Chains A and B, each alone.
Chain A
Amino acid sequence: MKSPDFAYVRADTLDAAFRLKAQHGADARWLAGGQSLLAALAFRLSEPTALIDISRIDVLQGIAVNGSMVRIGAGTTHTTIGESDIIRRHVPLLADAVPHIAHTAIRNRGTIGGSLAFADPAAELPACCVALEATFVAASAKGERRISARDFFHGVYATALENDELLTAIEIPAAVAGDHHALIEITRRSGDYAMAGIAVALRRSDDKIDRVRLVFFALGDKPVVAHVAAGVLLGTDLVEDQIERAAKAVSADLDPPGDLNGGPEMKRHLAQVVLKRALLQILNNLMRMPA
């Protein structure tokens, strides 16, 4: 379908963006890469009065290391993140996630901030950011505030952002020795939204798991943190029996709604499958590492 009618305005600075937002009001929406928003408008899921294009604002671009933190500008495209040496080295979970995000033509336009602010429950990046304990920087004419990834996602397409706020940057703690990660998803077609997926970040020292975050996507109305299954793994070493026990425990963490891909029972099954695959992948990598 064709989109509803709206006005298009472009902001080249953050100040201009906030000014335009004040001018066009609550029904104006930010346009970043447009890869989710323009598709949603073609379905007429919303009818904004205006789109404020923020894709050419310089300060929203780029990837940098600040001490122990990696800062990613919200306007950075998936392609740029996937090609970044900083990301490969310091946030390898994101580097592994990028090839799963849609297709090349979409990754060339779509942005990390756009994906997070759109908050599709089946998207990879929200789950990755929760697993990595990322912090999101939101700005408005009134100033800046920081929101933890865990508090950011409220539900389907719903976030902690106020109407006049813009997501400007994502801050992620850089990986340290002993950190391991995996991202596994099951899709009908490579690049499609997941039927079920998981982002795993764990830290291991002296052959014991010190911390572990298991975050599912496409299995709830937002990223779902599996506390019960994580509790099974904490303080133990990663061995196949333990992985099996964690997979059995994960049902207690989930209440998946059915969708076009299948009912709740199938989703529960797929959750176990992706959890096991992810942890086995980490285990296999560990066994390949020099002692």
Chain B
Amino acid sequence: MTTNSITLTVNGDQVRRDVPARQHLIDFLRLDLGLMGSHVACEHGVCGACTVRLDGAIVRGCLVLAASLHGSTVETIEGVSDSGEIRDLQDAFIARNAAQCGYCTPGMLMTAADLLKSNATPTRAEIREHISGNYCRCTGYQAIVDAVETTAHKRRSSGPKP
């Protein structure tokens, strides 16, 4: 098995590891770093359960090789939860029961947070389009769209963050 040495920043901490060349980012986060929030499901880019932020942009963690990430910055659901960045979005998911089994939820939150960063006033159609790459098999999506819409609305009425 071929390994590569990488140094990268994960949720603000610098980590250095030797990783197998074929290992994808989510197995690296889960198995090597113990960050179990990012979920592995289809492992070929269809379901979105593994969505994480790489150098500021959301990606499919299963379609990124850990070995390719030397010098990169990764943020996971653990990072954006601990920082409080998406507290309001998480509260809205809970209030609206937008997480049932919870398997898709971390990826759904990362994707929804990505939308709200670039679009403060998304329509329901725009919310649906943006989360169209994230499968949820429980909710039927209505509650998730509600939660994202509510969060956008609350952020607007509470004014821009400092």
Interface residues, chain A, with chain B CB atoms under 8 Å away: 1-8, 10, 31, 34-35, 38-39, 41-43, 51, 53, 55, 79, 102-106, 108-109, 189-191
Query: Are B111 and A4 within 8 A (Cβ)?
Result: no
Per-residue interface assignment for chain B, residues 20 to 34, with 1 indicating a CB less than 8 Å from any chain A CB and 0 otherwise: 111010010000000
> How many angstroms from the CA of A38 to the CA of B58 in the assembled complex?
17
Most buried by A among B20, B54, B111, B133: B133
Is B63 a contact partner of A106 (Cβ separation < 8 A)? Answer: yes
B116 to chain A, nearest CB (A): 13
Residues of B within 8 A of A5 (CB): 1-2, 20-22
Which residues of B109-154 are within 8 A (CB) of A?
Answer: 111, 114, 128-130, 132-134
CA–CA, A102 to B130, complex, Å? 11
User: In whole angstroms, how far apart are the Cα atoms of A7 and B62 in the complex?
Assistant: 17
- Which of B43-51, B83-91, B96-104 contacts the other chain? B43-51
Determine the chain B residues whose CB is within 8 A of the CB of A43 once the complex forms.
44
The 10 A-B pairs with the shortest beta carbon distances in the complex, nearest first, are A103-B133, A8-B21, A190-B132, A39-B44, A8-B67, A7-B2, A108-B57, A3-B22, A105-B58, A42-B44
Q: Do the beta carbons of B60 and A6 come within 8 Å of each other?
A: no
B147 to chain A, nearest CB (A): 18
Of all chain A residues, which has the CB nearest B135? A189
Given A6-B21, A104-B114, do A51 and B63 touch, yes or no (CB 8 Å)? no
B9 contacts chain A at the CB level, 8 A cutoff: no
For A7, give the chain B residue with the smallest CB separation.
Answer: B2
Q: Nearest Cβ distance between residue B16 and chain A, in whole angstroms?
A: 17
> How far, in whole Å, are A190 and B46 apart by their CA atoms in the complex?
12
Most buried by B among A31, A103, A109: A103
The answer to whether B59 has its CB under 8 Å from any CB of chain A is: yes
Q: Which chain B positions have C-beta within 8 A of A38? A: 24, 45, 62-65
Residue of B nearest to A2 (CB): B22
B68 within 8 A of A: yes
How distant is the Cα of A141 from the Cα of B4 in the complex, in angstroms? 26
Of all chain B residues, the one with the shortest Cβ separation from A102 is B133
Whether B48 and A1, one on each chain, are in contact in the complex, defined by CB atoms closer than 8 angstroms, is: no
Q: Tell me the bound Cα distance from A79 to B59 in angstroms.
A: 12
Which residues between 66 and 96 of chain B lie within 8 Å of chain A, taking CB atoms?
A: 67-68, 70
Q: Flag if B60 contacts A104 (CB, 8 Å).
A: no
Closest chain B CB from A245 CB (angstroms): 34
Residues of B within 8 A of A109 (CB): 54, 59-60, 63-64
Decide: B64 and A105 in contact? CB cutoff 8 A. Answer: no
Q: How far is the CB of A14 from chain B (nearest CB, A)?
A: 18
In angstroms, how far is the closest chain B Cβ from the Cβ of A108? 4
| A8-B65, A108-B59 known, 4 other contacts, Cβ within 8 Å | A2-B43, A34-B68, A105-B60, A191-B133
Looking at the complex, which one of A1, A8, A55, A189 makes contact with B132 (CB distance below 8 Å)? Answer: A189
The CA-CA distance from A55 to B72 in the complex, in Å, is 13
The CA of A146 and the CA of B24, in the complex, are separated in Å by 35
Q: Which single residue of chain B is at the shortest CB-CB distance from A190?
A: B132
Which residues of chain A come closer than 8 Å to B27, judged between CB atoms?
2
A7 to B19, CA, bound (A): 11
Q: Are A106 and B68 in contact (CB under 8 A)?
A: no
Contact among A2, A31, A106, A108 with B45 in the assembled complex (CB-CB below 8 Å): A106
Report Cα–Cα, A191/B54, bound state, in Å. 21
Query: Across the interface, which residues of A come within 8 angstroms of B111, CB to CB?
Result: 104-105
Q: Which residues of A contact B129 (CB under 8 A)?
A: 190
Distance A240 CA – B113 CA, assembled complex (angstroms)? 44
Residues from chain A with a CB closer than 8 A to the CB of B4 are: 8
> Which chain B residues lie closer than 8 Å to A79 at the CB level?
57
Could you write out 17 A-B pairs with CB less than 8 Å apart?
A2-B22, A5-B1, A8-B4, A34-B68, A38-B24, A39-B63, A42-B43, A51-B21, A53-B68, A102-B133, A105-B48, A105-B51, A105-B111, A106-B59, A106-B60, A108-B59, A109-B60
Q: Give the complex CA separation of A191 and B45 in angstroms.
A: 12
